[in-house]
Amino acid sequence: MPELPEVETVRRGLASFLPGKVIKSVDFNWDKSFPNATQDVQAYLIGASITRVRRRAKVLLIDLNTEHSLVIHLKMTGQLVFRGKNVAFGAGHPSDSLVGALPDKSTRVTFEFADESQLFFNDQRKFGWVKLYPTLEVPNIDFFKKVGPEPLNADFTQKDFRQRFKRRPNTNIKAALLDQTVIAGVGNIYADESLWGAKIHPATLVKNLSTAKMNKLYDELRYILNLAIEKGGSSDRNYVNAEGKRGSYLSFARVFRRQGQTCPRCDTIIVKTRVAGRGTHTCPKCQRQ
DNA sequence: CACTTGACCTGTCCGC
DNA sequence: TGCGGACAGGTCAAGT
């Protein structure tokens, strides 16, 4: 599911609800969803207070005042939904909501706080996880040692972007965009959307892309990631924000999940194919290989 | 090494 | 209505 804009949207929601909350209890019903929860839970989680909520790549970090952090990956279908006095099931328009009463059959971990509010980790497909690490060790996790730069960082330039891709000259640009060690945070939706924006066919080999094309891709990717954050992300099926509500980006999408519809630039019918092992949406006229 | 494919899971949709 | 197969926003390990 969640790519950079969705995870960032969840982070912003959690950052408004969680700081100061004191963990009263933690409940698990699927071991693999919280693989290193042992006696550490008692020592570092129960009674701990949340200090802040961060994001790196597609990973959320919830820092505690016990020098430990919850590290959370939502993978394809993970959700983190907060329920408290001011954020209750039923608030807002019903069509915004994708989750009802919690816990439900997809709930894998439940955190309860001292003020009776709760945080639910739901994950239909069970690929996602919550782990507990000493805060200082988080940068040493294999994933964080290898992951590429944040594409939206102010100091990340067109030149940096081109440099990062030089490590994957013989692979296609879509696979390279999805490779988290090149740059962080891009998944299937925003790969397709940004390639359409830059008029690049997803199967084009990286080494065959000009400097101008790569610069255009950088511009389109940053534009689309920022727009998606503004729209609260994409809810293709499971994704919801920290209040359990959908994001609206897909109503603005130009190609993703729009096969059979017309290209907004040239009216050609958008097609769905397979590139880098993933469903891929392109305009056959705008994006020639 | 660089690159591709399968595995991890559940649920839904589509064709027969 | 049932059943099999393909597919779904991600990442690893294992294969070539």
Contact A247, A234 (CB under 8 A): yes
Predicted confidence (pLDDT) at residue A226 exceeds the cutoff of 80 = yes
The region of weakest confidence among A80-89, A138-147, A176-185, A199-208 is: A80-89
The reply to whether A167 has its C-beta less than 7 Å from any atom of strand B is yes
Return the nearest residue to C9, CA–C1': A1
pTM over 0.85: yes
Beta strand pairing call for A23-28 and A107-113: antiparallel
Find which nucleotide's C1' atom is closest to A76's CA: C9
Beta strand pairing call for A118-123 and A107-113: antiparallel
Phi-psi region of A159 (alpha: psi -120 to 50; beta: other; left: phi over 0): alpha
The reply to whether A188 has its C-beta less than 7 Å from any atom of strand C is yes
Q: Supply the DSSP symbol for A92.
A: S
The reply to whether A260 has its C-beta less than 7 Å from any atom of strand B is no
The reply to whether A81 has its C-beta less than 7 Å from any atom of strand C is no
What is the distance between the alpha carbons of residues A247 and A236, in angstroms, rounded to a whole number? 9
Q: How many helices (H) and strands (E) does chain A have?
A: 7, 10
Half-sphere exposure of residue A168: CA atoms within 13 angstroms, side-chain side: 21
Name the phi and psi angles at A15, rounded to 5.
Answer: -65, -25
Contact A24, A118 (CB under 8 A): no
What is the distance between the alpha carbons of residues A283 and A201, in angstroms, rounded to a whole number? 9
Which band of pLDDT confidence, cut at 50, 70 and 90, is reported for residue A1? Answer: low
Which band of pLDDT confidence, cut at 50, 70 and 90, is reported for residue A41? Answer: confident
pLDDT of residue A43: 85
Predicted confidence (pLDDT) at residue A86 exceeds the cutoff of 90 = no
| A77-CA/C7-C1' distance, Å | 14
Which band of pLDDT confidence, cut at 50, 70 and 90, is reported for residue A39? Answer: low
pLDDT of residue A37: 74
Which band of pLDDT confidence, cut at 50, 70 and 90, is reported for residue A156? Answer: very high
Beta strand pairing call for A50-56 and A59-64: antiparallel
pLDDT of residue A94: 64
Lookup result for tokens 């701990």: A48
What is the distance between the alpha carbons of residues A200 and A17, in angstroms, rounded to a whole number? 41
Cis peptide before A103 (omega within 30 of 0): yes
- Residues belonging to chain A: 289
What is the distance between the alpha carbons of residues A127 and A108, in angstroms, rounded to a whole number? 11
Return the nearest residue to C12, CA–C1': A143
Average pLDDT over residues A173-191: 97
The reply to whether A169 has its C-beta less than 7 Å from any atom of strand B is yes
Q: Supply the DSSP symbol for A94.
A: G
Predicted confidence (pLDDT) at residue A93 exceeds the cutoff of 90 = no
The reply to whether A158 has its C-beta less than 7 Å from any atom of strand B is no
CA-nearest of A60, A70, A79 to A122 is: A79
Check the CA dihedral A12-A15-A17-A22 and report its sign.
positive
Predicted confidence (pLDDT) at residue A85 exceeds the cutoff of 90 = no
What is the distance between the alpha carbons of residues A115 and A133, in angstroms, rounded to a whole number? 25
Average pLDDT over residues A47-67: 98
Catalytic residues of A: 2-3, 58, 278
pLDDT of residue A90: 73
| A168-CA/B1-C1' distance, Å | 12
For strand B, which nucleotides have at least one atom less than 7 Å from a protein CB? 2-6, 8-11
Average pLDDT over residues A256-266: 96
